[in-house]
Amino acid sequence: GQQVMQIPQYQHVQEGEDFTTYCNSSTTLSNIQWYKQRPGGHPVFLIQLVKSGEVKKQKRLTFQFGEAKKNSSLHITATQTTDVGTYFCAGWSGNTNAGKSTFGDGTTLTVKP
């Protein structure tokens, strides 16, 4: 079945440093979604990427979808303590009406002030 690998599992940074998490799929994806889960909270949708090579920005966050649509990345510039949490990617492949995605295991970001 489809597998989505996410690295690293944990990342500890000093406030102001950059952060990147990578998501790799074993199959070609139709699209990929990114979610953020704050400690003790529930996942919240951040963004969706659909097109090959697509790049989207949200303030200090930059999301990329690979040319082959098998990988994606989330980059945060100049981290802040509010960025703390676990970032998940969720990949969809095959029949886009199939109804289910596969989540990566997430990257947990801690930021030292």
Partner 1 sequence: DGGITQSPKYLFRKEGQNVTLSCEQNLNHDAMYWYRQDPGQGLRLIYYSQIVNDFQKGDIAEGYSVSREKKESFPLTVTSAQKNPTAFYLCASSKAGGSYNEQFFGPGTRLTVL
Q: Give the C-alpha separation, 66 to 59, whole Å.
A: 21
Q: Give the C-alpha separation, 45 to 47, whole Å.
A: 6
Smallest separation (angstroms) from partner 1 to the CB of 82: 19
Identify which of residues 27 and 77 has a Cβ nearer to partner 1 in the complex: 27
Q: Does 39 bind partner 1 (CB under 8 A)?
A: no
Binding mask 5-24 for partner 1 (x = CB under 8 A): -x--x---------------
Q: Are 54 and 47 in contact (CB under 8 A)?
A: no
Q: Select the span of 13-21, 27-35, 51-59, 67-75 touching partner 1 (CB under 8 A).
A: 27-35
Q: Give the C-alpha separation, 22 to 44, whole Å.
A: 18
